Structure 1
């Protein structure tokens, strides 16, 4: 029986379902790896060893970003039988091959592989890849070497895929990509992400909820902004790739926005649609970061009303420019990451408390007594209940516990 262990981003989740469809009933464990940080690579190795301990007689196959970037280190692990890179993980030929390592030059890829999964059996919401790779070279990031250059899925294929998922019973779809807002320039007519979203909403009227994964704030154009703030089927939840809140650090990261840009887009979003919840990726302890620079980033939690913070302690990735910059001591990085998490927790607690007494629509997730509402707050039902997984339920919000809302089915 096949088992897929998916680490990292939502794009990996989407691709894992494609892998599941390709391998069928093959007796194997597939570890779909992540390489965004050194900690992610460590967890990948940990997952491989655990999988082999638990199922010593089955084939262990490693794929994903870490496998693409450093295939030899994984093929050298005694627990690993095969390595298949991102270059080939959605290729039927790669899964039929007997080669121990199937990894091609990711930079040579010009198109994305089609998705094979008809539904997402393990998830209430479905994840649809519309873009892969990245043309930008942020100084801290190794992901372009695991994903290649930016390439987009034609809109017609995306629409057909989403229509099929809705027909299969999915009521919420998440569009995923490595650099989602760079969608389109490589396609005929150079459509934008906003144009793709418009087409999806027009051609799949039965789709009830559409959500976007991480966005580059500087690339939210007027069309996409209007959809995020005016289209009710677009969930009021925007996750931004901010990374820092200090202009000098942003410049050294080679980001394309300033602190002022980030604050301004959040103010515009919240002014146009106050219920929008803001999430953000933030790196603590980037090389050369002083206490004053760290304070500027810490202030972004409140300045951008970040209630879904993803805090990453900086870790140097081999081959990246940031790894050659003067490094911040590890103990100082931990302190700064803790401060960011504490500030995020305080902001989130106030935001959750403000939702007490409201009635919201929740997408029911496993095991049927919890789920996420439109702003992506997680809700746990107070009284034992088992609602239909994948259904949408009205929930009366009654309180907060452990960073989650509590409620009762209305």
Structure 2
């Protein structure tokens, strides 16, 4: 009988993409998906180390698995990803029942490491450099949504933000050749994928390491957007300091590129931005945002904001509230500062902000963000939107869900599943209601039926970010 695997994933889209690659690699090695922990022979974690809470959740789950493994000695546990790259032997020291630790640079070696551990005992294999960090063939990836795919265009980051550990665990920026990325998208399109999301730590600087002079991201957007069969192109994440006019122009002029921009602010205080080493001021950020909105019709903008960065004063936070209100975001991912060992900010202990003050500021920011999000959504009521159908709503069994070109979640109430459009369809939906985090709609027409291959079994990936 084939061995069964279960994936548990913490963190960002890059980790989700890594999990999809792992699923394909494990299946190519003869394993099959497990439906639950009870019938899994292998449990693999892809980990995040951006926030302390992800560390805590990982070690908590590893602790729970210790008793489970004592009852089932053949069970193998593997830990990969950013936390594994950072902690290495420390994971086995804290959780000696872990069989394999692999890093961000040798994900492709995971199946072989599991076989080796079965014969030799625990294995820690975390290369320092980018050896083996190819993105892998399309055939070695499994997707939850067969019509939508992640495509890595770049790994690593050359920025040195004071709060971020990514450069230490992902390495320096390394871009895939443009022709290679386009070839992957073409192959995905032949398999029925109609939506791709280009992934990188700083997509705006994509290709600078290849040309040694200027980024190639605008050229990549145009090339990917022209691939036959690709109807939507998204990307994440860009850095505001590198958002160039030619990228904005490519977004506006390439029909397939979605009018959606994730532009992390982090803080509205110039003093805090300087301490973070972000490379821009609040006004420069707002100017680039205004340029993007003036050029790209119906642009939706999302952001990241950190509350409680060391030394943040009430005046600093007031400036963040003011910028967030002026920007009028469609959505925002707000975070409480979490010191990561090895980062510059983690050493600013004398300037840490009182947790109660941070919690109060966090709530005030949430009110501002949700107010603008609701206003943006209410402005769409009465419009017709093109929606890519994803499937049943996770919240309401009597509704199906999809996303607009702007990435907005739309729920359509329909108690009879036989009347639901197939996942992967493009449909027209009339927007009849709005909330801060989603829209409500009514089906108007089916524009394009699914093009993808018959759906495989869902990849058993629990995203725990």
Q: Which range, TM-score by smaller chain?
A: over 0.9
Residues 239, 279 of structure 1: 8 Å contact kept:
yes
Taking a change above 3 Å as real, the CA distance of residues 50 and 277 of structure 1, as seen in their structure-2 partners, is: farther
1:12 equivalenced with 2:11 (yes/no): no
Separation in structure 2 between the aligned mates of residue 238 and residue 213 of structure 1, nearest angstrom: 8
Query: Bigger CA drift: 185-194 or 327-336?
Result: 185-194
1:73 equivalenced with 2:105 (yes/no): no
Partner of 1:301: 324
* 1:254-269 matches, cutoff 5 A: 254-269=277-292
Residue 306 of structure 1: SS of its match in structure 2?
coil
Please point out which of 82, 90, 103 is paired with 2:100: 82
Residues 184, 192 of structure 1: 8 Å contact kept:
yes
Please point out which of 105, 109, 129 is paired with 1:91: 109
Partner of 2:80: 63
Query: Bigger CA drift: 347-356 or 51-60?
Result: 51-60
Tell me, which stretches of 5 or more residues in structure 1 are unaligned?
A: none
Partner of 2:217: 193
Partner of 1:379: 410
Query: Bigger CA drift: 166-175 or 287-296?
Result: 166-175
* 1:239-250 matches, cutoff 5 A: 239-250=262-273
Residue 403 of structure 1: SS of its match in structure 2?
coil
Residue deviations 1:265-308 (CA, integer Å, cap 9, x gap): 11111122341111111100101110000011111222212122
Partner of 1:32: 46
Separation in structure 1 between the aligned mates of residue 392 and residue 223 of structure 2, nearest angstrom: 33
Partner of 1:389: 423
Residues 21, 117 of structure 1: 8 Å contact kept:
no
Please point out which of 98, 117, 125 is paired with 1:102: 125
Residue deviations 1:289-348 (CA, integer Å, cap 9, x gap): 100000111112222121220101001111211122211111111111221122111111
Partner of 2:143: 121
1:331 equivalenced with 2:353 (yes/no): no
Residues 176, 212 of structure 1: 8 Å contact kept:
yes
Residues 221, 254 of structure 2: 8 Å contact kept:
no
Residues 22, 116 of structure 1: 8 Å contact kept:
no
Say which one has the larger Rg: 2
Query: TM-score scaled by structure 2?
Result: 0.82
Separation in structure 1 between the aligned mates of residue 142 and residue 405 of structure 2, nearest angstrom: 20
Tell me, which stretches of 5 or more residues in structure 2 are unaligned?
A: 32-40, 394-399, 445-465
Separation in structure 1 between the aligned mates of residue 169 and residue 354 of structure 2, nearest angstrom: 27
Q: Tell me the number of residue pairs that the alignment of Structure 1 and Structure 2 aligns.
A: 407
Partner of 1:359: 384
Query: Bigger CA drift: 53-62 or 226-235?
Result: 53-62
Separation in structure 2 between the aligned mates of residue 354 and residue 54 of structure 1, nearest angstrom: 51
1:170 equivalenced with 2:170 (yes/no): no
Residues 24, 142 of structure 2: 8 Å contact kept:
no
Residues 175, 207 of structure 2: 8 Å contact kept:
yes
Displacement, 1:78?
4.7
Displacement, 1:42?
1.8
Displacement, 1:111?
7.9
Separation in structure 1 between the aligned mates of residue 53 and residue 23 of structure 2, nearest angstrom: 26
Displacement, 1:49?
4.6
Displacement, 1:130?
0.5
Residues 251, 259 of structure 2: 8 Å contact kept:
yes
Query: Bigger CA drift: 131-140 or 92-101?
Result: 92-101
Residue deviations 1:187-220 (CA, integer Å, cap 9, x gap): 2576511111122223x13210000112111211
1:207 equivalenced with 2:230 (yes/no): yes
Separation in structure 2 between the aligned mates of residue 298 and residue 43 of structure 1, nearest angstrom: 31
Separation in structure 2 between the aligned mates of residue 52 and residue 366 of structure 1, nearest angstrom: 36
Separation in structure 1 between the aligned mates of residue 130 and residue 181 of structure 2, nearest angstrom: 19
